[in-house]
Amino acid sequence: MDDADFPDPTDWIQTPVPGLQTLETSLRCQVCKELFTAPKVTSCGHTFCSLCIRRCLSASSKCPTCMKPDEEPRLRDNIVLSELVNSFNAIRKSLLDTLVAKEEARKQAEEEEAKRKAESKPKAEKRSSYDLDDDEIMEDAEPIRRGKRRRQDTTTSRPTKETEPVRRSTRTSSRRTNSRMGSSQTPVVLDSEDDDDEFQLTDDSSEDDFRSATRGKRKHPPRVPDPRTENSDLVDCPVCYQLKDPSKIEAHVNRCIEGNGSPPPTPRRANGASPAGTPLKRQPVSFSNVSKSQHRAPYTAEEKLKLRLPKGNASLAKEADIRKKLRDIGIRCDVKGKDNKQVLWTRLQEWTNIWNANLDSDNPKIKQVLIKELEAYERHQLAQKPSVVQDKDFGREAWNNAHKPGFELLIANAKKTSIQRKENGIATEAKDQPPDPATGENMDSNGIDSPKSVEA
C-alpha cells in the first residue's frame, strides 16, 4: 500500500512539525478514522461522519464516545468543521510535500556540513558560528537543490504573513474587510432578533469587524434557530418523524395515520443547494397552522429527492410493506436464506442510512450510484460469511476425513435405532420423522458439519 493513496495522520511525524499529527487526528472521524465527510454532531456534542453515526445509532442507539442514548433526528450539521476539513484536505498534499522536502533538505545540509567538517578541520573551526544556525544553512542549500519547491514555500507561507494584521481588530482593518466584502459579495440580511442576541456585548467597531469577517468566510447562510434544537421537550411523531408538542401529539398521530398530517419540514441544507446569501425562513412552529392547512399539495419528484427517510420500526413493519418500499426505491428484494424479513429490514435500514447521509454531504451522488454502493456493501458482508469456521488454516476436507469413522458410526447407530423401532412396532409413529434421531445425534457430536455433507 502506497502512502499516497492512504493518507494518515502519522505522515506528519517525519516533518519538522510533528504536532500536525494531533491536528489531523482531530479532523478525523473516530469511527472510520477518515477525514470527516458531512460531519454530524450528536446531542452530547461528539462529532462523527454522517454515515458512521447513522450506522452506529441503528446498531445501538448510543453515542459511541460517551454511550449516552441518542437518536438520529437529533443529529445536527457541524458546518464549521466540514469547512475546516475541506480546506485542510485541499492543502494537505502540498503542505506535506513542502514540509517533507524541507526536512530532507535540512538533513542533507547537515550531512554536507559534517562532510565539510571532516574534510577540512581547520576551516570547520573557523565556521563554528555557522554550525549553530541550522536554518541559515538550510536556506543556503535549498535554492540550489530544488528551485521548484522554493516557489511552493513562498506561496504557502505568504498568506500567514498577510492575515496577521487583519486579525487585529482596528478600525482600518475592519474597513478593509468591509470594502472587500462589499465588492465581492452581496450583503446578507440577518434576522434582526438573532443579531441582538449574538452581538449584545460587543462594541460597535468590533461588531462590524466580526460581522463582516463571519459573513465573508461563511459559505452557508447564517443559521436560523431550529425548532428542534430550541425545544428538546418535543417528541417525535412515530409516523412522519416530525417533532411535536407532547400535548398535541395524539391528535397529530391520528391525522398522520389517516394520511393527511402536515408534511415534514423540508431539510434545511438539502443538497447544500440553498442559495448562498439568502437566509432561510424560520419554519413556523405554530400548531394552529397545522390544523388549518391539513391538505398540502403532494411532493413533486424533485422535492422527494431531498427528503430524509424515516427509520420506521422493525417489529411493526410487515414483510410485504418492506418489500414494497424496497421495490419502489428500485432495490432488489431477493433473499437467500431463512430469515427473510430480517434481511430485508437490514437492507432497508442500510439504504436509509446511505440515503440520508448522502443528503448531508456537500456533493451528493445520484440514486443509481447509491444503490450500487448498497449492493457492494451487502456483497462484502455476505462474502465473508459462508464458512462456518472462519479459521484460515481450517481444512474442511481434512477434518471430514479425520472424523469419518466417527460420523459413520453415528449414522450406523442412528439407522440401527430407527430399524429397531420399526421392528418393535412403533414404526407407525416414527414413520413421519425417520431421519430425526440421526440428525440430532450427529449435530450433537460434531456441532459444525451437517451429516449430509459427510454422507455425500
| Matching residue, cell 471430514 | 400
Q: Rule CB under 8 A: is residue 13 a binding residue for other proteins?
A: yes
Which CB, 58 or 152, lies closer to other proteins?
58
Identify the bridge partners of residue 418 per DSSP, sorted by sequence position. Answer: none
Q: Rule CB under 8 A: is residue 126 a binding residue for other proteins?
A: no
Identify the bridge partners of residue 235 per DSSP, sorted by sequence position. Answer: 244
Q: Rule CB under 8 A: is residue 83 a binding residue for other proteins?
A: no
Q: Rule CB under 8 A: is residue 336 a binding residue for other proteins?
A: no
Which CB, 62 or 117, lies closer to other proteins?
62
Among the listed ranges 27-35, 118-126, 279-287, 408-416, the one in contact with other proteins (CB under 8 A) is 27-35
Least distance from C-beta 22 to other proteins, angstroms?
11
DSSP assignment of 3-62, as one string? STTS--GGGGGGSS-TTHHHHHHHTB-TTT-SBPSSEEE-TTS-EEEHHHHHHHHHHSSB
Backbone angles phi, psi at 33, to 5 degrees: 60, 20
Q: Rule CB under 8 A: is residue 40 a binding residue for other proteins?
A: no
**36 and 29 Cβ atoms separated by less than 8 Å:** yes
Which CB, 113 or 373, lies closer to other proteins?
373
Q: Which of residues 132-191 bind other proteins (CB under 8 A)?
A: none
- Helix (H) / strand (E) element for 243: namely strand 243-244
Q: Which of 22, 33, 332, 431 binds other proteins (CB under 8 A)?
A: 33
Least distance from C-beta 19 to other proteins, angstroms?
14
Among the listed ranges 9-17, 79-87, 98-106, 251-259, the one in contact with other proteins (CB under 8 A) is 9-17
DSSP assignment of 376-416, as one string? HHHHHHHHTSS-SS--TT--HHHHHHHTHHHHHHHHHHHHH
**442 and 413 Cβ atoms separated by less than 8 Å:** no
Site track for other proteins across 351-380, x = CB under 8 A: -----------------------------x
Query: CA distances (Å), 107 to each of 149, 245, 429, in order?
Result: 16, 67, 88
Q: Which residues contact 171 (CB under 8 A, 6 or more apart)?
A: 205
Among the listed ranges 6-14, 72-80, 159-167, 329-337, the one in contact with other proteins (CB under 8 A) is 6-14
Q: Rule CB under 8 A: is residue 55 a binding residue for other proteins?
A: yes
Least distance from C-beta 362 to other proteins, angstroms?
20
Which CB, 6 or 135, lies closer to other proteins?
6
Least distance from C-beta 30 to other proteins, angstroms?
4
Distance separating alpha carbons of residues 89 and 77, to the nearest angstrom: 19
Among the listed ranges 1-9, 183-191, 293-301, 363-371, the one in contact with other proteins (CB under 8 A) is 1-9
Q: Which of 17, 22, 26, 66 binds other proteins (CB under 8 A)?
A: 66
Q: Rule CB under 8 A: is residue 10 a binding residue for other proteins?
A: yes
Distance separating alpha carbons of residues 1 and 13, to the nearest angstrom: 18
Q: Rule CB under 8 A: is residue 449 a binding residue for other proteins?
A: no
Least distance from C-beta 450 to other proteins, angstroms?
23
Which CB, 89 or 291, lies closer to other proteins?
89
Which CB, 55 or 211, lies closer to other proteins?
55
Distance separating alpha carbons of residues 293 and 419, to the nearest angstrom: 76
How many residues touch other proteins under the rule CB under 8 A: the total is 27
Distance separating alpha carbons of residues 126 and 119, to the nearest angstrom: 14
Which CB, 21 or 108, lies closer to other proteins?
21
Site track for other proteins across 390-409, x = CB under 8 A: x-x-----------------
Least distance from C-beta 407 to other proteins, angstroms?
24
Query: CA distances (Å), 65 to each of 27, 52, 197, 310, 418, in order?
Result: 16, 13, 32, 24, 58
Q: Rule CB under 8 A: is residue 8 a binding residue for other proteins?
A: yes
Q: Rule CB under 8 A: is residue 346 a binding residue for other proteins?
A: no
Q: Rule CB under 8 A: is residue 2 a binding residue for other proteins?
A: no
Q: Rule CB under 8 A: is residue 39 a binding residue for other proteins?
A: no
Distance separating alpha carbons of residues 242 and 228, to the nearest angstrom: 9
Which CB, 64 or 310, lies closer to other proteins?
64
Give the three-class secondary structure for 436.
helix
Tell me the residue length of the chain. Answer: 456
Q: Which of 19, 297, 385, 425 binds other proteins (CB under 8 A)?
A: 385
| Matching residue, cell 419502489 | 328
Task: Give the residue from 37, 8, 9 showing the smallest Cα distance to 22.
Answer: 9
| Matching residue, cell 461588531 | 207
Q: Which residues contact 134 (CB under 8 A, 6 or more apart)?
A: 106, 109, 110
Residues of the shown chain interacting with other proteins in the complex, contacts defined by CB under 8 A: 1, 6, 8-10, 13, 30-34, 52, 55-56, 59-60, 62, 64-67, 380-381, 384-385, 390, 392
